[in-house]
Structure 1
């Protein structure tokens, strides 16, 4: 019971926390001082990685997901980066759960970081979030 309570507390307290979005700029890359930069994610794409990214440098490993439009599949994810100027709606479930418990998350521009391993199953580009 305590493990379920701890898992729920972790999920509620920070699983979906993302760095607050700053106004999008059409002029190019985000500021250098961003604590979780896009790493090897190209501007105009949504990227996800199955591992943690180093702070201040961003991920350099091969992403588990890169998309510029709607996507469905199965991508293990601990770190993501929305390198677009639009909201992207994600559907996922926790890695330790079956896929019947679907959670939706709005990834705002520059939004990133899941704290625990999740499986992203759907990306609604320019979602309604």
Structure 2
């Protein structure tokens, strides 16, 4: 499956790989590069490390939520296993410069190429 790369406003060439959205009401496509792993349907999950391609993460998530959330969760992989778009705010620090970025996570799996700290999650019909 072809990945779409989204440029981010980072001081480095950090990119976010996003796979096309999957319907939360349908089964997870077998060819989805980052399936939900141990994320339960109806939740947004984040993990502090990269998920194995084609199997999804199996370790304990750093974040699991079914609604708005605020805190601090180290993240490299996340999965939006809901039918809604989820607005994710995260921080990235590179060479003492911290950047705050907001990303619209459509249903499906995603990875960050760099370690980030997710600080807010909000549900939106469309971001």
What TM bracket, shorter-length normalisation?
0.7 to 0.9
Change (3 A) 1:125 1:55: same
Q: Is residue 50–residue 57 contact of structure 2 (8 Å, CA) maintained in 1? A: yes
Runs of 5+ unmatched residues, structure 2: 1-9
Unaligned ranges ≥5, structure 1: 1-6
Match of 2:107 in 1: 109
1:17 counterpart SS class: strand
- State whether residues 47 and 65 of structure 1, in contact with CA within 8 Å, keep that contact through their aligned partners in structure 2: yes
The structure where strand makes up a greater share of residues is 2
User: C-alpha displacement at 1:9, in angstroms?
Assistant: 4.9
> Equivalents in 1 of 2:74, 2:68: separation in Å?
17
CA contact 2:19–2:32 (8 Å) conserved in 1: no
1:69–1:25 Cα change, 3 Å: closer
Q: Which moved more, 1:109-118 or 1:74-83?
A: 109-118
TM-score w.r.t. the length of structure 1 is 0.81
Does 2:36 correspond to 1:38? yes
Deviation at 1:118, TM superposition (A): 0.1
More helix by share: 1
Query: Is contact 2:46-2:76 (8 Å) kept?
Result: yes
Equivalent in the alignment of 2:73: 75
Deviation for aligned residue 1:20 = 1.7
Conserved 8 A contact 2:92-2:98: no
- SS in structure 2 of the partner of residue 121 of structure 1: strand
User: Which structure 1 residue ranges, 4+ long, deviate > 3 Å from structure 2?
Assistant: 95-100
Aligned to 2:3: none
**Count of residue pairs brought into register by the alignment:** 118
